[in-house]
Amino acid sequence: MKVSDAFILSEPVDFDDYLDYPTIVPYPCSLSLLRDRISSHFYRRVAAFRDHVKLLLLDAQLYNEPESYIIKIADALVNAVEQFLDGTEIHYLNELIQFR
């Protein structure tokens, strides 16, 4: 997987295009939602951010076929974020969002 493959997770799913999505996925998540929450200091603990990152994979698993490419992308992204977050403090997330 290339980093550019994660673009598919960058924006919220369009419910007009996927009418059944909100009936299958109870807590839709996207990278833009995570970014906005970091920017607004929504997360008080890294564990809360980590849990929301895991929602990217759970959402993909709930809606897509088990061997679909989107699940592989979400899994790789979650694993990369997990490795990055090991030892990360919450203030660093706020610095990271400023860096982009």
Q: Give the fold, CATH level 3, of 3-99.
A: Histone Acetyltransferase; Chain A (1.20.920)
Among residues 24, 25, 46, 22, which one has the least CA distance to residue 94? 46
Query: What's the pLDDT at 99?
Result: 45
pLDDT digits (tens, 9 = 90+) for 16-63: 999 999 999 999 999 999 999 999 999 988 889 999 999 999 999 999
Domain ranges of the chain: 3-99
pLDDT of residue 3: 65
CA 73 to chain centre: 11
Classify each residue of 56-65 as buried b or exposed e, where b means 16 or more C-beta atoms within 10 Å of its C-beta: bbbbbbebee
AA letter at 64: N
